[in-house]
Structure 1
Amino acid sequence: MNKSFRHLDTITALFVTVLLISNVASTKIVAFGPLTFDGGTILFPLSYIFGDILTEVYGYGRSRKVIWIGFCAALLMSLTFMIVGALPPAPDWPNQEAYEKILGLTPRIVIASLVAYFAGEFSNSFTLAKLKLITNGRQLWLRTIGSTLIGQVIDTALFILIAFTGVVPNSLLWTLIVSNYLFKCGVEILFTPVTYAVTGWLKQQEREDYYDRHTNFNPFRLTGAGR
């Protein structure tokens, strides 16, 4: 019988919410001091923090299911924006051009976002689960930061390279990758005390601290809890 959890649904909802808001905010490129990055970078690191919490407390199998929920939600959102943008506007609605500039996502951006999310989130979850076994559940900071360093470099590089190669100058391309990566990893490090507090509280509340000793790490296995 699958174990029932009090807070897994809430963590899942927050994870997906952060993901969707970040994707919309990514349509704007912002300058933050010496860094240049897309607007979604401000919130997107929280999805990795939620991902860390999910894997640390509930295990890779349940985290895998949540990652797929996020993937499907992001795909549905992107397709909806594209279909609405392609439909003819009402004769007295003057904002079609503005809509297309902000929400009229191109197939290239959608593909870049989904590929980067899929590869980055699963790399993050897999790395954290393996590090938990190696450290025997000690040094949570090493697992959360280490998995983020790997997951974020994959996510950031894939998204920027797929979305913007040939669109922006190469100098800006690498600036975006470095700035995004530094900011995202910096947020993860800054929020480490919060991650400690939330995971500790959840482990107590849920009476769960899962170790993926016999887990099937195939990201495409969706049946059951994935153990």
Structure 2
Amino acid sequence: MFNEIFGVITFLVTFLLLVAMYRLFGKHGLIAWIAIGTIIANIQVIKTIDIFTISATLGNVMFASIYLATDILNDIYGRKIAKRAVWLGFSSTLVMIIVMQFSLHFVPSPVDNTQNALESIFNIVPRIALGSVIAYIIGQHLDVLLFSLIKKVFSSDKTFIIRAYGSTILSNIVDTALFVIIAFFGAMPNEAVFEIFITTYLLKIISTVFNVPFGYWAKSMYRKGKIQKLDEGY
């Protein structure tokens, strides 16, 4: 039961921090969140936990927050800004992987006690790293496209929930399927690969269902004029 309670707390803290970044730094805070969050999520995904009677990797809540940040940017500032943020998130992950690989190849001092821990975290299996970056860039760009298409039909402020749910739920199918297939297909029994896909997608959707109110909160701050000066100040 501890993981379930702690999971709810982690969810609330994550999305409160996202809104705080927007309130303090405007659109640049959301763009920074996407860059930072992509790195964090790719580190979190290494850890496996049991929650609600299923085994799952961490990172699903952070990935859901990245999709919400992208949707807010798309809704308020337009598709161009959202796509730029997606590429920044991708570039941040790529830079982390490259730089940390160089770091791991330094010969550690005899008194060093961190090399093994760093290798466990950053010496990423090539297939998992490849699956992560490909799934991210395709899934996020698909989310931006779908959000823009849905917005043409449901464009009012009240229908943000339709745009956010529709784009994220559909793009996450592609995102999750790509990652699982590239990272695990052929290395595990097909049944296990399918189970990982279902549990990962399910947790992402649960996070998405409950995160949209934070999106409305962020949009409300923009409508009330609390963000414009921050955007203009950079």
Per-residue CA deviations over 1:51-105 (Å, capped at 9, x if unaligned) read 1111111111111111111111110011122222233222332443332222211
TM-score, with length taken from structure 2: 0.80
Gaps of 5+ in 1: 1-5, 209-227
Q: Which amino acid aligns with 1:146?
A: G
Distance 1:40 1:207 in 2: 28
Q: Percent identity of the aligned residues?
A: 25
Q: 2:214 maps to which residue? A: 194
Does structure 1 conserve the Cα–Cα contact (< 8 Å) formed by 2:31 and 2:85?
Answer: yes
| Structure number with higher helix proportion | 2
Label 1:166 to 1:97 Cα distance change in 2 as closer, same or farther (>3 A): farther
SS at match of 2:35: helix
Distance 1:207 1:199 in 2: 10
Q: 1:218 maps to which residue? A: none
Q: Which amino acid aligns with 1:150?
A: L
Residues 76-155 of structure 1 correspond to what in structure 2 (within 5 A)?
76-137=95-156, 139-155=159-175
Q: Deviation at 1:156?
A: 0.9
Distance 1:206 1:134 in 2: 28
Q: Which amino acid aligns with 2:62?
A: L
Gaps of 5+ in 2: 1-24, 229-234
Distance 2:109 2:97 in 1: 21
SS at match of 2:225: helix
Residues 62-77 of structure 1 correspond to what in structure 2 (within 5 A)?
62-77=81-96
Q: Deviation at 1:200?
A: 2.8
Does structure 2 conserve the Cα–Cα contact (< 8 Å) formed by 1:82 and 1:106?
Answer: no
Q: Which amino acid aligns with 1:129?
A: S
Asked if 1:35 corresponds to 2:51, the answer is no
SS at match of 1:44: helix
**What is the total number of aligned residue pairs between the two structures?**
203
Moved more, 88-97 or 139-148: 88-97
Distance 1:204 1:123 in 2: 30
Distance 1:35 1:42 in 2: 16
Per-residue CA deviations over 1:90-149 (Å, capped at 9, x if unaligned) read 233244333222221133222111100001101111101111111233521111000011
Moved more, 54-63 or 194-203: 194-203
Moved more, 58-67 or 195-204: 195-204
Does structure 2 conserve the Cα–Cα contact (< 8 Å) formed by 1:127 and 1:147?
Answer: yes
Distance 1:140 1:161 in 2: 31
Distance 1:181 1:48 in 2: 14
Does structure 1 conserve the Cα–Cα contact (< 8 Å) formed by 2:47 and 2:58?
Answer: yes
TM-score, with length taken from structure 1: 0.82
